[in-house]
Amino acid sequence: MLVEQLGRCMSHRLPYTSLARISFAFRTPRARWNSTAAAPDGPAVSETNRAEATMKRFWDTVGVEKRGDALTVTLDKRALKTPSGNTLLLPGNKLLVASLIAAEWDHQATLLKPHALPMTSIASRAFDDLGEQTTRYEVQEALLKYLDTDTICFHQDYPPQLERLQTEHWDPLLEWARKTFDVKLFKSESILFATQPEATHEKFRKVLAEFDQWQMAAMERTTYTTKSFVIALALVLKHLTVEQAALAATVEVASQIERWGEVEDTHDVDYHDVRRQLGSAACLLSEA
């Protein structure tokens, strides 16, 4: 189900054999790529850094293997490393995440496209940084600041298209948050004088404190993508699908398109980018 939420941006799911021995590869003739010898599997080397530096594909095959209780993506049989140089090890219940990361690397053509590695970047963020309590607390406090500037808390009564979309996509979310967490969330017409009650901040602080590193990484990416703490929380807690979250996050843009039409190579690019980012966050939470 989560793969389908990625839409046109990330819809390819990779085959696998069994959990006892997970290993698959994509083979392409070496002559097709500007290849160099793959770096050894060691903590001092990061494939993501190397690819970013050369901007060229240096590997032939991509696979997913089981190493102990963990899963790892391999490039030419060598484990993929994060930008920090750590071997990216995923929990055994995150086969979908590993499969999507493998697909991202296999779909890279002659020139690397960093924006096409959303699953790699978010999984690396969770693995490298958000397993550490101090970093997780810092991220938590940064995200809580979005409560006072949350997109869905600022409503306008003009134009009619915007007013209708706010009512359709934002009001139900605010009501869900109020009832689910027993908090007050105020709407405003001006960002200059709007703050949410401290009790609301404290309640959501406790909610975030219970998140693991994967949930926190998804929460971080979704909040920064949507500019909304509430939309992010609803996606992470699976109250919203990726498409519903994307629609809520783009209410203002959608109202402009209704009034003036779509701007080619702008609105359409943003449309896919929002869903790519939110899709990667949703898939990171998969336990399949």
pLDDT of 210 > 70? The answer is: yes
CA gap 82, 102 in Å, rounded: 14
Domain holding 109, by residue range, is 57-126
Higher pLDDT, residue 18 or 239:
239
Rounded alpha-carbon distances, angstroms, from residue 263 to 9, 79, 268: 20, 42, 8
The pLDDT, as a whole number, for residue 46 is 65
Same domain, 228 and 244: yes
Peptide bond into 159 cis (omega under 30): yes
Higher pLDDT, 212 or 17: 212
Residue 18 located in a structural domain: no
In a domain, 50, yes or no: no
In this structure, the answer to whether residues 279 and 161 fall within a common structural domain is: yes
DSSP state of 19: S
Closest among 152, 210, 149 to 176, alpha carbons compared? 152
CATH of the domain at 198: 1.10.3580.10
How high is the pLDDT of residue 230?
A: 98
Q: What is the arithmetic mean of pLDDT over 11-22? A: 34
Q: Are residues 199 and 245 in the same domain?
A: yes
The C-alpha atoms of residue 8 and residue 180 are separated, in whole angstroms, by: 32
**51 band by pLDDT with thresholds 50, 70 and 90:** low
Q: Which of 88, 105, 126 is the last residue of a domain?
A: 126
Distance CA 275, CA 11 (A): 12
**Stated pTM of the model:** 0.80
Angle between helix 267-284 and 251-260 (nearest 10): 150
**Average pLDDT estimate for 239-260:** 95
Residue 50 or 145, more confident:
145
For the chain, give the percent of residues with pLDDT over 70.
Answer: 80
Question: Taking 70 as the threshold, does the pLDDT of residue 1 lie above it?
Answer: no
Q: Nearest-CA neighbor of 146 among 241, 3, 71, 249? A: 249
For residue 252, give the 3-state DSSP assignment.
helix
Q: What is the pLDDT of residue 67?
A: 93
Residue 18, pLDDT above cutoff 60: no
Q: Residue 136 pLDDT > 80, yes or no?
A: yes
Q: Are residues 264 and 152 in the same domain?
A: yes
Predicted pLDDT of residue 42: 43
For the segment 181-203, the average pLDDT, to the nearest whole number, is 89
Per-residue pLDDT band for 12 (boundaries 50, 70, 90) equals very low
- Has residue 228 been placed in a domain? yes
Q: According to the model, what pLDDT value does residue 194 have?
A: 74
In the structure, what pLDDT confidence band is assigned to residue 53 with cuts at 50, 70 and 90? low
How far is Cα 1 from Cα 61, in angstroms, rounded to an integer? 27
